[in-house]
Amino acid sequence: MGYFLDLFLSGLTRGSIYALIALGYTMVYGIIQLINFAHGEIYMIGAFTALIVAGVLTIYGWNQMAIIFIASIVALLYSMGYGYTIEKIAYKPLRHAPRLSALISAIGMSLFLQNYVLLAQTSDFMLFPSLIPDFKFLTSFSHIARPSEFVIIISTAIVMVLLTFFIKFTKTGKAMRATAQDRQMAMLVGIDVNRVISITFIIGSATAALGGVLIASHIGQINFYMGFIAGIKAFVAAVLGGIGSMPGAVLGSLVLGWTESFFTGYVSSDYEDVFAFIFLVLILIFRPSGILGRSDTQKV
Amino acid sequence: MSFEQIKKSLLVSLWFMVLTFPIMVIRVNTIYHTVEWRWHRMFGVGISVFVLSFLWRYLMGRKEAGLKRKDRGEADILSRSQKLLHEPRFTRPAVIMAGAFIIAFPFIFSIYQTNIMITALIYVVTGLGLNIVVGLAGLLDLGYVAFYAVGAYSYALLNYHFGVGFWIALPIGGGIGMLFGILLGFPVLRLRGDYLAIVTLGFGEIIRLVLENWNAFSFGPSGIANIPRPGLFGVDFSLREATIYIYFLMIALALFTVFVVRRLQNSRIGRAWIALREDETACQAMGIDKTKTKLSAFAMGATWAGMAGVVFAAKTTFINPASFTIWESIIILCVVVLGGMGSAIGVIIGALVLILLPEYLRAFSEYRMLLFGAILVIMMVFRPGGVVSEVRQTYQFKGKGD
């Protein structure tokens, strides 16, 4: 039972991180029908920025709480900046181009950002300081899970709730939903579509960066390649849940996290990544619209 | 260059200086707790972004002007590069000179240069194969290298276990590639375009990971060595002669590929591919079987990748899974995109430029992948048709003008 619980919690942690990334995918896809390949790179850049800021502040001898706070905030802000800029350079000029063009542009952006970090920083693994402190009130649960696991799960839950409120009740959230439903019509009723798309990228980037910072301090090391596989798996999760649907992305992420965790725990860890891909192919064949997605018929 | 524009460019470069600040300037060593500040990089970023933003605006302006001309119907049907390609006064001597150069190349230059050229030619063939899938049929295949790996491993394993020679393995490799293409294509081609990209990417990774982990079958990461070079009726070749032989073999294969692609392009199936790329729904309404047409494009592309894989194995005499990563697929994609999707001559130029330039400009070799990424974005934004864009078949009505 203990082993099962371990796997369950590690699956939940994994799923939470996938969910933070998958939300960005699903939001962007919902609005401009583009698989933002560079999204995983935003996650990686978030982790790198946090590492750099935390490293500098540690050397100048700041106290732990301040470092956590500042590093996370700076990482979030920078990722937002990157998300915004990427959209302006690589996707905005292609808004009326065929989807294939935008997709190729996204792949190019992903490749560019990976190599940008590789060249400007390093190709080695970098040790990431454990930013998450050992909270006193969590030590009584330490036989079940590490504090960082709790922090990841709890902060993911908070982000989900906030995001749901934002989409459901604020004016910008409404504008986002309207744009996702029908961009032309949204423009006609006076929604600044370009602004809405920018905001979507910014929010998606912020959640991805949060995921990056959390997972980096949980695992303890990062490199320039971390975003690629994580991004693809989050995409699998988004498709599993039904791309374009936010609760779907969360559900899909958790399902993927658990299945991966149990698969590696009980079957084999050699083929972990293979398993995720086979899972994706099976979903796409048998239920392309995902668990919570609507199947849309193509209109002319 | 107005004051407004300078102000805008200054703001943009300031934004990029801030944005790239932590990653470009600061470098922390988390083990020894030291920080390295590289301020000069910040100014480098500022100045280059300032210049680039003017270039960006200029190119954007030109693109918009071009679009406007097209809307008014004033645009030429053939672009300038296309006109050049259709001008016999230019093409005839160019073809003769290129032909003479190709034949003389291995005799003038060293084995090293010839080997680089062979690599470039392998990319020409794989590029032309991918061009069928991406350029003609509009299916984004990111796992193309998997078929290439299948070809290479089928030659290596057939040779290892049964002693099969190169010339028998070449069609078998192509055939197995095609089989895998059909196997993968059958379930996934019903999907929408962007899902296909991810599934094929996943498939490429699955093949690589299986080759890496299934030691009993593929000898794992250590790979397979001592793969024989192609033979010719039992003649013994020296290393130099063998290289020259492979070179001409590759030239022949490339010419054969160009021939097949050009014939296909104007056939019924080729036109069906192009129609499918342009509008799936309309295409189906015209009575074209979507799945069958897509599957044929996929299988055709995979066949060429399989054959190129066999040649690759024979050329390097050693293969391991590390040669078949996702980046290989993306480089091939880059070749197709730069050259011009759908145009054979474009793909050839693209492959030669992208493979030969980094070889000769060693100083830039570490920036290779960075540049490839930038090329993909820039080409898509400014010239989605590639350097040599495909000529669309158009019919002009030349009736009485009243």
B204-B207-B211-B214 Cα dihedral, nearest 10 degrees: 140
CA distance B18 to A120: 15
Residues of B with Cβ-Cβ distance to A264 under 8 angstroms: none
Q: Is the pLDDT of residue A297 over 70?
A: no
The confidence score (pLDDT) of residue A237 equals: 87
Task: Kindly determine whether residue B19 and residue A78, on different chains, have CB atoms separated by under 8 Å.
Answer: yes
Q: Is the pLDDT of residue A205 over 90?
A: yes
- In chain A, how many domains are there? 1
CA–centroid distance for B259 within its chain: 18
Structure tokens at A138: 């969590």
In a domain, A154, yes or no: yes
pLDDT in tens, B368-385: 888 888 888 888 888 877
Q: Any idea what the CATH number is for the domain that residue A18 is in?
A: 1.10.3470
Residues of B with Cβ-Cβ distance to A119 under 8 angstroms: 366-367, 370
CA distance B34 to A269: 37
The confidence score (pLDDT) of residue A300 equals: 46
pLDDT, mean of residues B200-223 = 81
Residues of B with Cβ-Cβ distance to A53 under 8 angstroms: 22
Question: Is residue A243 within 8 Å of A56, Cβ to Cβ?
Answer: no
pLDDT in tens, A53-89: 888 888 887 788 888 889 889 999 999 999 999 999 8
φ, ψ of residue A27 to 5 degrees: the values are: -65, -45
B272-B130-B278-B199 Cα dihedral, nearest 10 degrees: 110
CA distance A1 to chain B (A): 31
In a domain, A54, yes or no: yes
The confidence score (pLDDT) of residue A299 equals: 46
CA distance A273 to chain B (A): 8
In a domain, A226, yes or no: yes
Task: Kindly determine whether residue A103 and residue B201, on different chains, have CB atoms separated by under 8 Å.
Answer: no
Q: What is the CA radius of gyration of chain B?
A: 24
Domains recognised in chain B with CATH numbers: 3-72 (no CATH), 109-382 (1.10.3470)
Task: Kindly determine whether residue A116 and residue B370, on different chains, have CB atoms separated by under 8 Å.
Answer: yes
CA distance A242 to chain B (A): 12
**ipTM of the complex, rounded to two decimals:** 0.85
Task: Kindly determine whether residue A120 and residue B140, on different chains, have CB atoms separated by under 8 Å.
Answer: no
pLDDT in tens, B179-191: 998 988 887 777 7
If phi > 0 it is left, if psi is from -120 to 50 it is alpha, else beta; for residue B141 that is beta
Task: Kindly determine whether residue A108 and residue B194, on different chains, have CB atoms separated by under 8 Å.
Answer: no
Structure tokens at B78: 């053939």
Nearest residue, CB atoms, A108 vs list B140, B142, B376: B376
Give the 3-state secondary structure of residue A190.
coil
Give the 3-state secondary structure of residue B319.
strand
Task: Kindly determine whether residue A85 and residue B140, on different chains, have CB atoms separated by under 8 Å.
Answer: no
pLDDT in tens, B132-181: 888 888 888 888 899 999 999 998 888 888 877 788 888 899 999 999 98
Task: Kindly determine whether residue B30 and residue A55, on different chains, have CB atoms separated by under 8 Å.
Answer: yes
pLDDT in tens, B327-353: 888 888 888 888 877 778 888 888 888
Which range marks the domain in which residue A52 is found?
2-286
CA distance A170 to chain B (A): 29
Residues 6+ apart with CB under 8 A from A23: A159, A160, A163, A204, A207, A246, A249, A250
pLDDT, mean of residues A107-123 = 88
CA distance A30 to A244: 4
In a domain, A205, yes or no: yes
Task: Kindly determine whether residue A59 and residue B191, on different chains, have CB atoms separated by under 8 Å.
Answer: no
What's the whole-number average pLDDT of chain B?
A: 82
Residue environment code for B245-267, b if the CB has 16+ CB neighbours within 10 A, otherwise e = bbbebbbebbeebbebbeebbee
φ, ψ of residue B118 to 5 degrees: the values are: -65, -45
If phi > 0 it is left, if psi is from -120 to 50 it is alpha, else beta; for residue A68 that is alpha
pLDDT, mean of residues A179-196 = 89
What's B224's DSSP letter?
B
Structure tokens at B217: 């079958």
Burial class (CB in 10 A: 0-12, 13-18, 19+), B140: buried
CA distance B53 to B130: 33
Compare A76 and A130 and report the one with higher pLDDT. A76
Q: Which residue of B has its CA nearest to A286?
A: B187
A133-A134-A136-A142 Cα dihedral, nearest 10 degrees: 150
In a domain, A80, yes or no: yes
CB under 8 Å, gap of 24 or more: what pairs does A87-90 form?
A: A87/A197, A87/A198, A87/A201, A88/A198, A89/B377, A89/B381, A90/A38, A90/B377, A90/B380, A90/B381
Centre a 10 Å sphere on the Cβ of residue A64 and count the other Cβ atoms it contains.
14
The three-point CA angle A100-A233-A18 to 5° equals: 120
Q: What is the CA radius of gyration of chain A?
A: 19
CA distance A228 to A119: 17
Give the 3-state secondary structure of residue B198.
helix
φ, ψ of residue A221 to 5 degrees: the values are: -150, 150
pLDDT in tens, B282-330: 888 888 888 888 889 889 999 999 999 998 988 888 888 888 888 888 8
Question: Is residue B145 within 8 Å of B328, Cβ to Cβ?
Answer: yes
Task: Kindly determine whether residue A58 and residue B33, on different chains, have CB atoms separated by under 8 Å.
Answer: yes
pLDDT, mean of residues B126-135 = 89
Structure tokens at A230: 């994580």
Return the H-helix or E-strand segment holding B257.
Answer: helix B239-265
pLDDT in tens, A86-98: 999 888 888 888 7
pLDDT, mean of residues A184-202 = 91
**In B36-87, alpha helices (H):** 39-72, 80-85
pLDDT in tens, A209-236: 998 888 888 888 888 888 888 888 888 8
The confidence score (pLDDT) of residue A6 equals: 82
Task: Kindly determine whether residue B198 and residue A90, on different chains, have CB atoms separated by under 8 Å.
Answer: no
CB under 8 Å, gap of 24 or more: what pairs does B167-175 form?
A: B167/B230, B167/B231, B169/B310, B170/B307, B170/B310, B170/B311, B171/B307, B173/B306, B173/B307, B173/B309, B173/B310, B174/B303, B174/B304, B174/B306, B174/B307, B174/B310, B175/B303, B175/B306
The confidence score (pLDDT) of residue B266 equals: 82
CA distance B184 to B152: 18
Structure tokens at A94: 């292609």
Q: Is the pLDDT of residue A202 over 90?
A: yes
pLDDT, mean of residues B43-52 = 88
CA distance B237 to chain A (A): 41
What's the whole-number average pLDDT of chain A?
A: 84
The confidence score (pLDDT) of residue B306 equals: 92
- Beta partners for residue B29, in sequence order: B34
In a domain, A292, yes or no: no
Q: Which residue of A has its CA nearest to B34?
A: A59
Task: Kindly determine whether residue B367 and residue A115, on different chains, have CB atoms separated by under 8 Å.
Answer: yes
pLDDT in tens, B67-110: 777 777 655 555 666 666 667 777 778 888 888 887 777 777 78
CA distance B275 to chain A (A): 14
Nearest residue, CB atoms, A112 vs list B140, B337, B370: B370
Compare B165 and B51 and report the one with higher pLDDT. B51
pLDDT, mean of residues A169-195 = 90
Structure tokens at B14: 């300031």
Residue from A25, A78, A111 to probe the interface with B (highest B Cβ count within 10 Å)? A111
Q: Is the pLDDT of residue A256 over 70?
A: yes
Closest CA to B128 of B352, B318, B385: B352
Give the 3-state secondary structure of residue A61.
coil
Residue environment code for B100-127, b if the CB has 16+ CB neighbours within 10 A, otherwise e = eebeebbeeeeeeebbbbbbbbbbbbbb
